[in-house]
Amino acid sequence: MTESLSLEEIEALFTGDNNTFHFARWNRPIVPIVFGVDDETLTHLKSSIVTTVGITGNKIEETDPELGANFMWFFCQEWSEVLSVPDLQELIPNIKDIVEKLQFSSTKSYRIFSFDPEGGIKMCVQLIKVSDETAEMSIQALAIGETFQCLALFSANAFINESPIAQISQNNLCIPKPKYAALVRAAYDPILPVASHDKSHALRLLARSNIFLSGMN
């Protein structure tokens, strides 16, 4: 029997430091673009992004009518490099403040979301600092882990104690753990709202994720 998430665990995944529940999922097709890597790395990254987005039941699209691309990855050696990206400040007006905070932190990745009038995710900017730690990770592990955490508005502390990704020992490939994959698939059930601040939404996610999880057994 595949392990499932409890109601308390699901609530915690979408509850921030201020004890406020905030769920949101993408409300449009995801269109990725990646900056700061070579062509070979880009190919592997995009393949893993496509695979991970597939958990939602949706497909990657070629363009967003409003933004062109809406899932942006920026790789850098130093956080200050982010400030040289053309037009980024137009998308993220407070990017200078964000970079300043990142320079004094130990974090290796940071994601910024924006939302549409319904509260659904309309854009995500993913910043990744290439360090010794990230360089040692496989491209596939990095891409799947980071993409997964962008499929919904998880809290900043969501995966501190447990990674949502597992490695298959037979081939060393990484996949989202079934209980988390089922949760994200449930989150994209068309019957559910694209966003919610009501903690009771976790009950609906629990019920649907258990249905998907039972289908994996």
- Domain CATH number, residue 109: 3.30.379
SS3 of residue 171 by DSSP: coil
110 and 20 in a common domain: no
Is the pLDDT confidence value at 204 over 80?
A: yes
167 and 79 in a common domain: no
104 and 41 in a common domain: yes
Which residues, at least 6 apart from 77, have a Cβ–Cβ distance to it below 8 Å?
129, 130
57 and 17 in a common domain: no
> Which tokens in the block code for residue 73?
């990855």
Maximum mean pLDDT: which of 80-89, 153-162, 187-196: 187-196
Distance CA 182, CA 193 (A): 17
Where b means 16+ CB within 10 Å and e means fewer, 87-125 reads: ebeeebeebeebbeebeeeeebbbbeeeebeebbbbbbb
Q: Which domain holds residue 165?
A: 1-25+155-217
85 and 118 in a common domain: yes
130 and 70 in a common domain: yes
189 and 138 in a common domain: no
Distance CA 143, CA 116 (A): 25
> Which tokens in the block code for residue 90?
């137009």
185 and 126 in a common domain: no
Maximum mean pLDDT: which of 33-42, 92-101, 190-199: 190-199
Is the pLDDT confidence value at 130 over 60?
A: yes
Which residues, at least 6 apart from 209, have a Cβ–Cβ distance to it below 8 Å?
4, 5, 10, 179, 182, 183, 185, 186
Give the model's pLDDT for residue 137: 63
36 and 71 in a common domain: yes
Q: How many domains does the chain have?
A: 2
> Which tokens in the block code for residue 148?
């997964």
Give the model's pLDDT for residue 90: 85
Is the pLDDT confidence value at 133 over 80?
A: no
33 and 19 in a common domain: no
Is the pLDDT confidence value at 102 over 90?
A: yes
Distance CA 105, CA 128 (A): 13
